[in-house]
């Protein structure tokens, strides 16, 4: 094997190890899920009591990523009476998972980015 081939093989191995061999789409889904959880927590009446498990669905929808929790998925947030209650949530994120386009909690739009 020539030195150039060894260098290419080594670089490819380092790249796979540093990325964990995870495809970019999966990395974006993880990022979207993580960022959505943070937005939900920041929007909660009592962030320390919020229970935010893994979402039930993270998928591509056109030119964005949707992160979803339905009824019974374990997402609970405090209501106005101080009780943690079953909650639904949906985040619409950019394709890289970094930018929040819309956050809906219990069918109420909490945050929405400007259309620009």
CA quadruple 57, 58, 60, 63: dihedral sign: positive
pLDDT tens digit string along 18-64? Answer: 556 889 999 999 999 999 999 999 999 999 999 999 999 999 999 99
- The answer to whether 85 touches 51, Cβ cutoff 8 Å, is no
Cα–Cα distances in Å, from 72 out to 47, 59, 85, 88? 20, 19, 10, 8
Residue 93: closest CA among 63, 56, 116, 71? 63
Average of per-residue pLDDT across 88-110: 98
Q: What is the pLDDT of residue 18?
A: 54
Give the domain ranges of the chain.
23-112
> Is it the case that residue 6 has pLDDT exceeding 50?
no
Q: How far apart are CA 37 and CA 89, in angstroms?
A: 10
CB atoms within 10 A of CB 77: 23
């Amino acid at each position: 094997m020539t030195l150039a081939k060894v260098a290419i093989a080594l670089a490819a191995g380092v790249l796979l190890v540093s990325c964990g061999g995870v495809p970019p789409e999966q990395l974006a889904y993880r990022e979207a899920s993580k960022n959505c959880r943070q937005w939900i927590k920041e929007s909660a009446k009592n962030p320390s009591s919020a229970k935010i498990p893994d979402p039930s669905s993270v998928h591509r929808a056109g030119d964005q990523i949707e992160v979803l929790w339905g009824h019974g998925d374990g997402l609970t947030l405090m209501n106005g009476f101080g009780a943690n209650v079953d909650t639904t949530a949906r985040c619409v994120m950019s394709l890289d998972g970094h930018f929040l386009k819309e956050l809906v909690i219990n069918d109420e739009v909490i945050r929405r980015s400007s259309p620009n």
